[in-house]
Chain A
């Protein structure tokens, strides 16, 4: 047993500190009930959207949707697309939401296999049909983008080295050790780049390619932000690598201060297309609202907001792109793709085979 010393020294200090703690508490409005202010809205019906944590659209668009349809839009973001699909997979009959958005090519077939979606028979904007999955009328394409290897053009100009163009180039001594990429384990562009190599070199050849890549000093990190912000010379903190896995839209984010040029470029022969889909969930409590929500995602306003809000391209042909995008990004004409069911079937096997190559 030990006895506690009575605070004989200063009595003032604790009182002061207590006062400060209380002040801090009251500054933060001292919530004792959680303080959700807009919870009890005027009884308007809600539509619940389940989506990944990169989802964002301008407030005024959301407000317009709510007003037009007399509903309240409730957004749930449990994590990345993988977490969204897992959440639905746990309760495919009743996922507790009306619409899912943001499921990409690599996860799409899992929703179909789980039979979690209703058919959606609304009208697609011109150009969107091309992004549909063959023979499926449940997954609605909303946006698309390409994961491409990006290079820091300024760095290559300064060093007097020609820029690489192809996947093979990355494994040649000229470009050792200049490449950094997120791995497929925990990163969606990382997975897309792995799929690029599978599509390019085939089931039998991609592991060889990765062996050459790693032998050539390629660096693998966990996440896209790690690769881009830590290692990539055009954006990083202690940059040492001028070649990185990113998106075809990334050059729009590295425009020079005077707005006349961009300092990076996407290599169009190294791209893999990702389409993001929306769908009406089976067991939706508000099927009409769900239909309206999917239509809204395809509306001209939302389609044109996609590039600035989520860094992806619209599926609608006639949606105007932001100036910087129009001026400084290029799209691949013949990107790599893989059938979504093939991806679903092999994803885990490929990832663990990849780990064996990289972790040697």
Chain B
């Protein structure tokens, strides 16, 4: 009992932050839908759930997010293997580049994709423009990196001996993969798939841009209903979304729990390519090429001015665009972005460390284990709940008295930290969970205080993963667009916000500047991720 209390004390700060900046705003917004003219009236909400359209929207959300997730996993697995297990030139750069789509603003990706798939584009003949296939392709483009990173991390630290033994007994590489390797990776794959599914099912800029307005998901529908001020309908869909996310987390929790301990963990070094690796390497090259295509298109556009090669777009970044499209120069927006990302990163890290510590301490009782399991899942919620509901919810709660944080410079980094938090937690939990609790007990019995135990037992093992999580959080914050666009102060916009602004304003050089700024953002991200690569330990990122 006392331990459970101690746990909750440690968890108090992250829980309080989650309550104030997530639960209360979302709750307030949903409550608006249930209360009509001052009285509780769920009738309107229930009516929405019965509409034909709601069923279609739910179905399309499940199908698009499901196929996006399945494809991301299918394409991500070979790449995870090749990029984390094999010793090939350029794998580090490839790992860094794969994360670039993850941070590009959706409006840029939308335009880049349409430039590729549209009538005159390189792949225009496929006729995919405005189709559901284009939406799924873009979802995969965004999320394959998550699978590579998460599963690759687990794969890299997988003890190869079980597989080698099977092979020695005559199993073919395919049999080893099916009977030994994949089962051992199941928890990591389930984790990666769950994060990807949450990202896919809440993607909304992409669905609007690439779907030619023909397709609606729960997320786009909440957006449109909220704008149409049909709050009961929006609340109904928000509730459906939250229930769905909770169910998903419960299922994934089961899958993940399974028997991670049975899978041997050992440091491995990347090995040379073998004959049977050819299909995996080929698949990886294809994934890289497909990812690079829209990015290359973007880079080319950034260096073209009036049909000739030029760096004018980049030189223009110190200005405010044609006819002062912007309030601040792009370079200043980059500075803002970096500053805000620093703040978001330390917040995400502080909260993430606390959560990870709480979640990974060995549970002694059933209740304790349940409490930990719930805590583990609860911090994933912000990934799966509508940004529109959260955004407007923040405006009617913490933005107003008594907190009145609307103009607080910490609001934007805090919102970004909440988005980055699950990535931090997922990176740290497996590492901290891997520390044998008996080491801590030994330290304690030798008279070490809890703080000292942390310092001498946990920290030496965890410091590199902590730095790796730092890089992940930093990149996630650099690219965050939804919440930031909503909350950023106009005189202190971030780079993605400025890019979206430039791309939406008429004027000769604005489009070129937007592409140049997107290239700068991508380059900054790649540099950060390459630095993080220097810090990797083989098992970092195993969800």
Tell whether, in the assembled complex, residue B490 and residue A28 are in contact, meaning their CB atoms are under 8 Å apart.
no
Bound-state CA distance A12–B134 (Å) is: 45
Taking CB atoms, residues of chain A closer than 8 Å to B338 are 24, 27-28
B150 nearest CB across to chain A (Å): 16
A358 is contacted by which of B213, B266, B490 (Cβ under 8 Å)? B213
Number of residues in A with C-beta < 8 Å to the partner?
82
A311 is contacted by which of B114, B340, B506, B531 (Cβ under 8 Å)? B506
- The segment from A163-171, A219-227, A287-295 found at the interface with B is A219-227
Tell whether, in the assembled complex, residue B342 and residue A28 are in contact, meaning their CB atoms are under 8 Å apart.
yes
A34 is contacted by which of B227, B408, B485 (Cβ under 8 Å)? B408
Taking CB atoms, residues of chain A closer than 8 Å to B471 are 21
- The segment from B13-21, B117-125, B444-452 found at the interface with A is B117-125
Interface string of B137-151 (1 = CB under 8 A from A): 000000000000000
30 intermolecular pairs with C-beta atoms under 8 Å apart: A1-B265, A1-B433, A4-B265, A4-B434, A17-B534, A25-B342, A28-B341, A29-B339, A32-B342, A34-B409, A56-B326, A77-B490, A83-B227, A86-B226, A86-B392, A89-B229, A91-B396, A183-B213, A186-B213, A220-B212, A221-B114, A221-B130, A221-B209, A221-B213, A225-B107, A225-B511, A226-B111, A229-B503, A238-B124, A257-B306
Question: What 6 A-B pairs come out closest when comparing CB atoms?
Answer: A2-B265, A34-B409, A5-B267, A28-B338, A238-B120, A17-B534
Q: Is B507 an interface residue (CB 8 A)?
A: yes
Taking CB atoms, residues of chain B closer than 8 Å to A110 are 229
Tell whether, in the assembled complex, residue B212 and residue A1 are in contact, meaning their CB atoms are under 8 Å apart.
no
Bound-state CA distance A249–B505 (Å) is: 12
Taking CB atoms, residues of chain B closer than 8 Å to A236 are 120
Residue of A nearest to B411 (CB): A34
Q: Is A334 an interface residue (CB 8 A)?
A: no
Within 8 A of A (CB), among B92-132: 107, 110-111, 114-115, 118-121, 124, 130
Interface string of A19-31 (1 = CB under 8 A from B): 0110011011111
A2-B434, A110-B229, A229-B111 given as contacts; is B501 within 8 A of A53 (CB)?
A: yes
Q: Is B431 an interface residue (CB 8 A)?
A: yes
Tell whether, in the assembled complex, residue B431 and residue A86 are in contact, meaning their CB atoms are under 8 Å apart.
no
Q: Is B49 an interface residue (CB 8 A)?
A: no
Q: Is A7 an interface residue (CB 8 A)?
A: yes
Tell whether, in the assembled complex, residue A56 and residue B327 are in contact, meaning their CB atoms are under 8 Å apart.
yes
Q: Is B214 an interface residue (CB 8 A)?
A: yes
Taking CB atoms, residues of chain A closer than 8 Å to B391 are 78
Q: Which residues of B contact A (CB under 8 A)?
A: 32, 107, 110-111, 114-115, 118-121, 124, 130, 157, 208-214, 224, 226-230, 260-261, 263-267, 301, 306, 322-327, 335, 338-343, 346, 391-392, 395-396, 399-400, 406-410, 412-413, 431, 433-436, 461, 464, 467, 470-471, 485-486, 489-492, 501, 503-508, 511, 527-528, 531-532, 534-535, 537-539
B233 nearest CB across to chain A (Å): 11
Tell whether, in the assembled complex, residue B464 and residue A2 are in contact, meaning their CB atoms are under 8 Å apart.
no
A78-B486, A186-B213, A240-B119 given as contacts; is B323 within 8 A of A30 (CB)?
A: no
Taking CB atoms, residues of chain A closer than 8 Å to B267 are 4-5
Tell whether, in the assembled complex, residue A24 and residue B410 are in contact, meaning their CB atoms are under 8 Å apart.
no
A329 nearest CB across to chain B (Å): 12
**Residue among A87, A247, A250 with the highest chain B CB neighbour number at 10 A:** A87
Tell whether, in the assembled complex, residue A90 and residue B395 are in contact, meaning their CB atoms are under 8 Å apart.
yes
Tell whether, in the assembled complex, residue A36 and residue B409 are in contact, meaning their CB atoms are under 8 Å apart.
yes
Taking CB atoms, residues of chain A closer than 8 Å to B485 are 53, 79
A34-B409, A220-B213 given as contacts; is B120 within 8 A of A185 (CB)?
A: no
Tell whether, in the assembled complex, residue A250 and residue B506 are in contact, meaning their CB atoms are under 8 Å apart.
yes
Q: Is A331 an interface residue (CB 8 A)?
A: no
Q: Is A76 an interface residue (CB 8 A)?
A: yes
Tell whether, in the assembled complex, residue B503 and residue A225 are in contact, meaning their CB atoms are under 8 Å apart.
yes
